[in-house]
Amino acid sequence: MFCYQCEQTAKGEGCTKIGVCGMEPEVAGLQDLLIYTLKGLSCVAVEGRKVGVVDPEVNEFTCKALFSTLTNVNFDPNRIIQLIQTSHSQKENLKTKVKAARGKTDFQEGPAAFQPATHLEGLLKQAEGVGPKSDPSIAPDILSLQHILLYGLKGVAAYTDHAQILGKKDDQVYAFIHEGLATTLRQDLSLQDWIGLVLKCGEVNLKAMELLDAGNTGTYGHPVPTPVPLGNRKGKAILVSGHDLKDMEELLKQTEGKGINVYSHGEMLPAHGYPGLKSYNHFYGHFGTAWQNQTREFADFPGAILMTTNCIQKPRESYEGNIFTSGMVAWPDILHIPNRNFNPLIDKALAMPGF
Ligand code: SF4
């Protein structure tokens, strides 16, 4: 494996045996392959836009899947394989629509013509040829800029996914994500071209952040300074980490009147400032400190724990039976909650001692 997409990377150079984040080589390979298939999907999406074909499902999926390859999001090989398969089937469906609109679909090589293997060994073999260092012929400066663009696009995708969850979308952002991913395949661009693309990515990212801001404040109001208790209140308890406010809202609704107090952890702290969330009396306080201290702190929490967005670290035995994931977050053998039906999490909290 080779991964240097985040500041945790080993020796500041790259994770090569196992990720500092806990990523296994198998997962790193599957993520490389997922990105490769998303580049293929993007090539078709770019051709589609030229003939007026824009598929909202493809837009949203591209963001979710790309976001899932960010640090501390998805460590579950099976979930990544599902994403690879969905990426491929969406690409083939989109080709049919683009062809009907007389757009280009006759890709003979590269990720747009790629067919993923049907079994793990085959996928891992395919992944060997598509990782970040798989083409030694690319000049190091160009390669660096390509990777800066890719990692920038992942950030844009994460913001865009959170915004789209709250109903805010802009096709210019989706179009750039597809254009950027497809452009990483080009061999004919100059250093200046790549710098221009990286700067454009930053510009589009501001648009994505605007969308997310509009989603957050439009749904939950403008945040106001809010005292947040650091202690605890007697009763059953649920701890929420990450920064998906929709997950938090749905959980607060589903726990209302059940004698459960909800606590934030790490990056969920700012949720207390939003009028639409702080109005829930049982959204009580903040437990623990920063996200990276979770493995020390979660063992002391006497309730169930929900990981949203991108903060999960390898769960310790002491609390692995109490922790759940939602959205794009996943860890092998940890119970995942689809579609914000938090009943299993609530049942676990009710069965635990609480404070
Ligand atoms: S995401 Fe994980 S594997 Fe990749 S550089 Fe960061 S710590 Fe290393």
Per-chain mean pLDDT for the chain: 97
Tell me, in angstroms, the distance from the centre of ligand 1 to residue 42's CA: 24
- The model's confidence at residue 170, banded by pLDDT at 50, 70 and 90, is very high
- What's the pLDDT tens digit per position in 50-107? 999 999 999 999 999 999 999 999 999 999 999 999 999 999 999 999 999 999 999 9
pLDDT band at 124, cuts 50/70/90?
A: very high
**What is the CATH class of 10-218?**
mainly alpha
Is the distance from CB of 60 to CB of 113 less than 8 angstroms? no
The reported pLDDT for the residue numbered 174 is: 98
Question: So what's the pLDDT on residue 304?
Answer: 98
Q: What local confidence, expressed as pLDDT, does residue 64 receive?
A: 98
185 in ligand 1 pocket by Cβ < 6 Å? no
Query: Residue 336's pLDDT is what?
Result: 97
C-alpha distances out from residue 84 to 18, 32, 118, 161, Å? 22, 10, 10, 18
- Residue 1 Cα to ligand 1 middle (Å): 10
Architecture of the 236-351 domain: 3-Layer(aba) Sandwich (3.40)
- 248-272 pLDDT per residue, tens: 999 999 999 999 999 999 999 999 9
CA of 22 to the centre of ligand 1 (A): 8
Our mutation pick for probing the ligand 1 site, out of 5, 154, 310, counting the most ligand atoms within 8 A of Cβ, is 5
What's residue 13's pLDDT? 94
Q: What is the pLDDT of residues 292-337, one digit of tens each?
A: 999 999 999 999 999 999 899 999 999 999 999 999 999 999 999 9
pLDDT in tens, 5-15: 999 999 999 99
Distance CA 242, CA 146 (A): 28
Give me the pLDDT at residue 153, please.
98
Looking at residues 26-34, what average pLDDT do you find?
97
Residue 138 pLDDT level (bands cut at 50, 70, 90): very high
Task: Kindly give the number of the ligand 1 atom that is closest to the alpha carbon of 1.
Answer: 3
pLDDT number for residue 29: 97
Q: pLDDT tens digits, residue range 224-242?
A: 999 999 989 999 999 999 9
Query: Where does CATH 3.40.50.2030 sit in the chain?
Result: 236-351
Atom of ligand 1 nearest to the CA of 3: 4
Kindly report, as residue ranges, where domains of CATH 1.20.1270.20 are found in the chain: 10-218
